[in-house]
Amino acid sequence: MEKEGKVKALFLMSLDTLIIVNSYILAFIIRFNFDFIMDKRNELILFLPVIVIIYLIMLSIFKMYKSIWTIVGIDEVAFGLIACLIATGIILITSTIISSIYYIDHITVLLAGLFIMIFTIGIRVSFRIYRRMISHGRVLLNSSNISNLEKILIIGAGSCGQLIIEEIRKQNPIKQKVIGVIDDNPSKIGTYLRGIKILGNRNKIIAISEEKNIDLILIAMPSVDGKTKKEIIEICQSTRAKVKIIPGMYELIGGKVSLNRMRDIDLRDLLGREEVILDKQGIKDYIENKVVMVTGGGGSIGSELCRQIAKFSPKLLLILDIYENNAYELENELISNFKNLKEKVLIASVRDEKRLENIFYEYKPQVIFHAAAHKHVPLMERNPEEAIKNNVIGTLNVAECAHKYGAERFVLISTDKAVNPTNVMGASKRMCEMIIQAIDKNSNTEFVAVRFGNVLGSNGSVIPLFKKQIAKGGPVTLTHKKITRYFMLIPEAAQLVLQAGAYAKGGEIFVLDMGNPVLIYDLAKDLIKLSGFEPEVDIKIEITGLRPGEKLYEELLMDEEGLRKTSHEKIFIAKPGEYDFEMLKLGVNALKKIADLGDGETLKTALQFIVKTYKRLDTENNSVFNEVALHESIEAI
């Protein structure tokens, strides 16, 4: 391959040498009106080798012998022109300096320079024209019956759309044909992009798809906002055509656009979430060269936090998790993708106070992201003891170690289910928020919580369940037709958690902008459609009824909390609560004793007393337990 490149370079150099020599001969003839003045001709012949060398050197410096000329663009043309202009300038200066020895006519030099520019660039552009003509010729020869070609409609008449048209012509000219382009910019409608007409705006997509019998729609708008993308996708899905999309810029490695990166539409696109813009310097300031710990590091959010943290060059990344398989896979991924990252996997439980003490004593983490938690509502409703031990006691253990060993920052990953909870999981997470707000009052560590809703595709979430049910032919099971949830993407959530950490002053609960709640029934229908089936025809949707502790809708904020803005449009701060840490510790100890007895019913009731906003859905009277009853239960234990 390298040898072939050298041969091509030598061929172009030989061609350029002929162009330079003949350009000077032509310029000389024109300048002197076809009168071959002997002395001037001889001087030119003597100086011509120097001229050739100057031009070849300048063309080489500007990589004119290393470019791929079958796909020549504006950059290559510009470099060629600059190289020729500089070479011409050098020759003019040189000829002036040596004019007493050799006289080279300046008008001849300028005229020859113009010819060299035209012919050196022209010959290279002709390579591309020849390639394009061959490509078009193959299409014409093979498209006498256009019905055999896959007919494509491209959405987006920007640089991305242009690149896609060029790639289709280069890679699949005998299999695919671009029929037209759609763009919402009125000034572009009716014009042509790489010879393809821009037929109209998004309102024309359905009509054009039917009229032109479009087989494939390619959405080539990587920088478009989430709302617009969602609207365009929904229009495209109303056609019979298959729909593919170029990922958003945050998904593109190096921002490179190609046909191979086109992917099927998925639920990420239908959420209409905007790309997160981060204050990277603010995040870097509190993570770079710091020992950073992520508890629950092998989980969905924890692992993504580790990936994002790795980009900011921590001194050491501690991945703490009780489950070895996920942590092992993440470690291998990080080693592969971040060659200079220092990381260590610690297999440990946040319940194990002594183990945590040893870890904090040895590594002294400066920044802690506490993501370890049980999160499944129905499971925790049936096993409340585990929710208390892992979520509440685990959070207290990690928080006390962070305080004791002088950590700078502690970020709790919370949930919208902590707001006016109706289940054990939500109530346990609300108690975690209360703990970090209480401990923050008398600590140099900045304790904060970040509260958000569901993340799309996380372990055990509704999406993987729906996909399995669809793969089996249905039915897709749904607890209620009107149930809604907030959703965001895993990378988006992790990035916003890091950003919120940069704003930490101590005691805040940061609330992430989750957008509008999503109707799960619509989500199920979208997923069925994306799988190539018709909802309620090919795949049935079955309503099973709400599960214990499950709410129809989630909230991100309690009435008394209020909200104030931060400098980031997607992050807000809830008003801090006032809690006594020692009293909370008494409550935690009481819950631990009840949990050790395995008395789930008493445990739920005791939790209700501590978390005043916890309203159980499985009892008629939510006020049956009072402070006296709590003390009596503890004394009995």
Q: Which two tokens stand for residue 410?
A: 């502690």
User: Which residues have a Cβ under 8 Å from the Cβ of 160 and sit 6 or more positions away?
Assistant: 220, 221, 222, 246, 257
CA distance 448 to 501: 8
Q: What are phi and psi of 151, to 5 degrees?
A: -90, 125
Alpha-helical (H) ranges within 517-580 are 520-530
Choose, from 244, 290, 417, 570, the residue flagged as catalytic: 417
Residue indicated by tokens 């609560």: 577
277-288 as b/e, with b when 16 or more CB fall inside 10 Å? Answer: ebeeebbbebbe
Mark 447-458 as b/e (b = at least 16 C-beta within 10 Å): bbbbbbbbbbbb
Tokens, residue 350: 């946040």
Unique residue bearing structure tokens 């183990």 = 355
**Three-state DSSP class for residue 236:** helix
Assess contact for 138 and 177: CB atoms under 8 A.
no
Rounded to 10 deg, the angle between the 353-363 and 394-404 helix axes is 30
Report strand pairing: 509-512 vs 263-264: unpaired
Find the angle CA(36)-CA(38)-CA(40) to the nearest 5 degrees: 90
- Sorted by sequence, the CB contacts under 8 Å of residue 516 that are 6+ apart come out as none
Q: Copy the structure tokens of residue 444.
A: 């140099």
**Quick one: tokens of 227?**
């709302």
Query: How many whole angstroms separate alpha carbon 56 and alpha carbon 83?
Result: 9
Q: What token pair was written down for 65? A: 């012998």
Helix (H, G, I), strand (E, B), or coil: what is residue 191? coil
Question: 439 near 403, Cβ under 8 Å?
Answer: yes
95 exposed, middle or buried (CB, 10 Å; 0-12, 13-18, 19+)?
A: buried
Which structure tokens are listed for 582?
Answer: 């020692």
Torsion over CA: 468, 473, 478, 484 (sign): positive
Cα-Cα end-to-end distance for the chain: 80
**Any idea which residue has 């031009």 for tokens?**
55
Residue type, 55: Y
Cα 606 to Cα 619: distance, rounded to the nearest angstrom: 14
Q: Which helix (H) or strand (E) holds 409?
A: strand 409-415
DSSP 135-149: HHHHHHHH-SSGGGS
Element (H or E) spanning 264, and its range?
strand 263-264
Range list of H helices, 244-344: 267-271, 280-287, 300-310, 324-337
How many Å apart are CA 327 and CA 321, to the nearest integer? 7
Reply yes or no on whether 404 is catalytic: no
Q: In 489-560, at which residue ranges do the beta strands (DSSP E only) sit?
A: 509-512, 518-519, 541-543
Q: What is d(CA 634, CA 637) in angstroms, rounded to the nearest whole number?
A: 5
Q: Annotated catalytic sites, by residue?
A: 417
